[in-house]
């Protein structure tokens, strides 16, 4: 009586090695991990408001209290020109995109450090970490944006036809946040000083942006050349664009938006390559 030996299949090993040098982002690989990305975005949204009494109302409270303080200090005491509209709404319309940019930039910067335990255990595209806050903070942005409508009704201000360009401004805002987040997150996991400097950096960038003042004041004092150079700061075009679309304080600043788009693309593309280059050492320095 003969028997046939059943041979067991030889297990296949997949070895993942870090790629050295400057490499582009593998978008196909990112698509395969879309479920992980969705989980991280959902986690960032839920954890922020878990066990809070006011819940999503904090999305309005943060820019609202800043608006009140800035209105008292810059609108009443310093009497900064608000281009023919009440300073409160002039400032709040700028605070909504700025708050999104600041919070998503801060969240992206600390994303690798706060998730260091995951970095050292399993493999997945590390880019999902700094990108998750960029999308998660859109929830806060949407809630705070609704309150702009309440203020516009209160002050009897009608939006202009340029409101159709708001989606373009939102995309530019997200692109700027994503590019900055990729740069800072890759730097922060290697140099922890970056995390400590974030509060100072966020305040510096806010006062550099036209949040409490308008770009027209800079143009009047320093000329058109200074205005165009200032456009290299992408949030300048975003904020002035929001005011032009919603309040009609000025014409649509296409020069600032155009220059800001080029600058944001440069930040994002260089941030992608730098993040990918440094990805191989994240688990070692985490």
CA proximity to 248, closest of 158, 153, 144: 158
For the chain, percent of residues with pLDDT exceeding 70: 88
This prediction's pTM: 0.88
- Residue 244 near residue 162, CB atoms below 8 Å: yes
**Alpha-carbon distance 192 to 198, whole Å?**
10
Q: Token pair of 124, please?
A: 């997945």
pLDDT at 6: 54
Residues 6+ apart with CB under 8 A from 47: none
Q: What is the pLDDT confidence band of residue 53, given thresholds at 50, 70 and 90?
A: low
DSSP string covering 3-14: --PPPPPPPPP-
Distance CA(256)–CA(207), nearest Å, equals 17
Instruction: Say if residue 77 is exposed, middle or buried (CB neighbours under 10 Å; 0-12, 13-18, 19+).
Output: exposed
pLDDT grade, residue 24 (50/70/90)? low
Average pLDDT, the chain: 87
Q: What is the pLDDT of residue 85?
A: 93
> Does 234 score more than 90 pLDDT?
yes
Contacts of 155 (CB under 8 A, 6+ apart): 85, 86, 88, 89
Q: How far is CA 15 from CA 12, 123, 282, in A?
A: 10, 11, 18
Instruction: Assign 163 a pLDDT band (cuts: 50, 70, 90).
Output: very high
Flag the least confident range among 12-21, 86-95, 119-128.
12-21
Check residue 241 and give its pLDDT: 96
């Amino acid at each position: 009586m003969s028997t046939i030996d059943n041979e067991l299949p030889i297990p296949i090993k997949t070895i993942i090695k870090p790629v050295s040098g400057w490499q582009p982002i593998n978008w196909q690989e990112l698509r395969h991990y879309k479920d992980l990305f969705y989980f991280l975005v959902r986690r960032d949204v839920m954890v922020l408001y878990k066990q809070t009494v006011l819940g999503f109302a904090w999305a309005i409270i943060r820019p609202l209290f800043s608006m009140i303080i800035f209105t008292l200090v810059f609108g009443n005491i310093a009497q900064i020109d608000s281009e023919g509209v009440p300073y409160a709404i002039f400032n709040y319309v700028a605070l909504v995109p700025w708050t999104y940019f600041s919070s998503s930039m801060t969240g992206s910067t600390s994303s690798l450090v706060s998730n260091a335990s995951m970095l050292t255990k399993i493999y997945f595209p590390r880019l999902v970490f700094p990108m998750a806050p960029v999308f998660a903070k859109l929830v806060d942005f949407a809630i705070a944006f609704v309150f702009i409508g309440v203020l516009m009704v209160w002050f009897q201000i009608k939006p202009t036809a340029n409101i159709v360009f708001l989606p373009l401004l939102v995309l530019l805002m997200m692109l700027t946040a994503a590019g900055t987040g990729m740069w800072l997150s890759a730097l922060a996991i290697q140099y922890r000083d970056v995390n400590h400097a974030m509060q100072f950096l966020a305040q510096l960038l806010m006062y550099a942006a036209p949040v409490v003042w308008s770009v027209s004041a800079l143009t009047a004092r320093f000329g058109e050349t200074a205005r165009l150079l200032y456009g290299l700061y992408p949030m300048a075009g975003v904020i002035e664009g929001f005011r032009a679309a919603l309040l009609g304080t000025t014409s649509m600043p296409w020069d600032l938006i155009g220059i800001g788009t080029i600058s944001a693309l440069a930040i994002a593309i260089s941030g992608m390559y730098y993040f990918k280059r440094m990805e191989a050492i994240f688990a070692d320095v985490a």
